A and B are shown apart, each in its own frame.
Chain A
Amino acid sequence: MKYAKVYYEDVKVGDELPPLVKCPIQQIQLTRYAGASGDFNPIHQDDEFARAAGMGGVFAHGMLSMGFVGQLVTDWAGAGQVRKLGVRFGGLVRLKDTITCRGRVLARSSKDDVNLVDLEVWAENEKGDKVVTGKATVALPARD
């Protein structure tokens, strides 16, 4: 069930998050993301510009993939629970790529009534190449 509440007590190190499979990347999504984010770098819109820049054509904003990873985490932990999200952009995402986001629990700790869970998160294309790798920390509610 989507958006089911996850409680700190129920989380174990090594648990995997339900994977998030996004729709194949289309130019229109990159255009929408440009408008929504304010990042109008033509390298994500204009194939000729991207080729002339030596990038072999248009590719997606790294921040779009990071947004997908953010969704992976909030689908599981709940929106508003993310305390930290940090990623490294390791590969380009091209038009028609299908991105799958995955994550697993690295550690859990409880201090001053705040229950934190550290996650390893990443996004990969259909070939299994990791295009984004990173870590997230979420605060989870306790049962009772």
Chain B
Amino acid sequence: MPMQINKGVLGKEFPPFVVTIERGKIKEFARALGDPNPLYLDDRVGQASEWGDIIAPPTFMTTFREAAGDGGDFLRELGTDISRLLHGEQEFELHRPIRPGETFVCRSKVVDVYEKTGRSGPMGFVVRETAVIDRANEIVATIRQVTVVRL
């Protein structure tokens, strides 16, 4: 394994990708969390709510992935593989709830790359920010993710 990560990925912008929110996916996600909230699971409760439909749980946007790839290309570019990864931090800034049938464009870029030695040895940190943009060109959410690479 390399003793450093490729800092050349700083500033890298990923190709934008489109996601459409599926009703069944929201429910599958809530059930996987063991969260029985009817605003995620019950269409009638959703319709009667101020949102007019069921909405997604606050961490649902973690499902927003490029359908085409498994992220393997980026890991190779970084100089690592999936077995070396840990999730360091995650943040969702949410401007409004999202509902089934909505379509968003996700624009993602690497905003920071650094190395640090912790209790368990040298680690690389990759900070990625994703803007989630709706059809009206409004940002509905900003996602910030810190991935840790065990070096």
Contact = CB atoms under 8 A, between A and B. Distances in A.
B57 A71 contact: yes
The secondary structure that dominates the B interface is mixed
Contacts of B32: 29, 32-33, 35-37, 64, 67
Indicate the size class of the contact surface on chain B.
35 or more
A23 B37 contact: no
B39 A41 contact: no
7 contacts: A3-B37, A32-B32, A41-B82, A43-B85, A62-B87, A70-B57, A80-B39
Interface in A43-81: 43, 49, 52-54, 61-64, 66-68, 70-71, 73-75, 78-80
B66 to A, nearest CB: 10
Nearest to A138: B58
A63 B90 contact: yes
B28 interface: yes
A106 interface: no
A22 interface: yes
A32 B27 CA distance: 12
A53 B81 CA distance: 10
A42 B62 CA distance: 17
A87 interface: yes
B63 A53 contact: no
A23 B63 contact: no
